[in-house]
Chain A
Amino acid sequence: GQNIDQPTEMTATEGAIVQINCTYQTSGFNGLFWYQQHAGEAPTFLSYNVLDGLEEKGRFSSFLSRSKGYSYLLLKELQMKDSASYLCAVKDSNYQLIWGAGTKLIIKP
C-alpha cells in the first residue's frame, strides 16, 4: 500500500528553527509537496520537490532524497503565525496526490 509518515505534533520556540520530516512509500513518484493548513482552512502551497536536493524559499526550505523516500521541511526564524499543520503529499505514478496526516506545529513565545 501507499504510505506517508510524518510526526503528529511538534513544538518549537519563536525565533528558532524546526525541521519536519516526511517519509513515503508510494507506487511511483512524480513530486513531493508541502502544504500549510491553519485550522478550519484549506491548505496553501509551500513547496514542490521533484529532484534530489534542497529548495529554498525565504524562511522555508524543503529537501528531498528520492533514494531514501525522505523529505523535510525546514522553517527558520519561527513566527507565531507559523503555528499550523504542515502536510506532506506525494504524487504517485498516476499523478494522484497521496497525503500525509499532517504535523501540527505549536510555536511558543
Chain B
Amino acid sequence: GAVVSQHPSWVICKSGTSVKIECRSLDFQATTMFWYRQFPKQSLMLMATSNEGSKATYEQGVEKDKFLINHASLTLSTLTVTSAHPEDSSFYICSASPPSSENTEAFFGQGTRLTVV
C-alpha cells in the first residue's frame, strides 16, 4: 500500500510555544491531505483538509489562526499548532490517498502525540 510518513511521532512543548508537524506522502503525490485530532477514547475528528497550492479548508469550530496548515508541495503538508496550551494536547494524525484509490482507502501517518505542559 501507499506510505504516509508523519513526524515527529511525539513532542512535548511548553505552553505558549509553537509546534510543527509534518506529513509526507512517500511514494505518491497527494493534492489533498487530511488532518485529524483524536482525544483519548474518542473518535477521529477531522480538523481540516489541506489542499496543495491553495488555502486549507477548516472544519467548523477549528481555529485557522491557531492551527496553521501549509501544503506547499504535492508530497508535504505541515500543521503548526501556534501558542499551544494544555488543552491542545492530543493525538494528531494525517491521511492521504493516491489518486488511484482516493475513493476506497485512506492511508494514515503514524500520528503525533502532542503534550503541552
Question: Which residues in window 78-106 of A have CB below 8 A to B?
Answer: 87, 91, 95-97, 99-102, 104
**B105 and A42 contacting across the interface, CB-CB below 8 Å:** no
A interface size (C-beta, 8 A): 20
B contact patch SS: loop
**A42 and B108 contacting across the interface, CB-CB below 8 Å:** yes
Tell me if B43 is interfacial: C-beta within 8 Å of chain A: yes
**A45 and B111 contacting across the interface, CB-CB below 8 Å:** no
Tell me if B13 is interfacial: C-beta within 8 Å of chain A: no
Q: A42-B93, A48-B105, A97-B106 are in contact. Are A87 and B44 (CB under 8 A)?
A: yes
Contact with B along A22-35 (1 / 0, CB 8 A): 00000000110100
* CB neighbours of B41 from chain A (8 A): 104
12 contacts between A and B (CB under 8 A): A31-B103, A40-B91, A40-B111, A43-B44, A45-B105, A45-B106, A48-B105, A87-B44, A95-B103, A97-B34, A97-B46, A101-B43
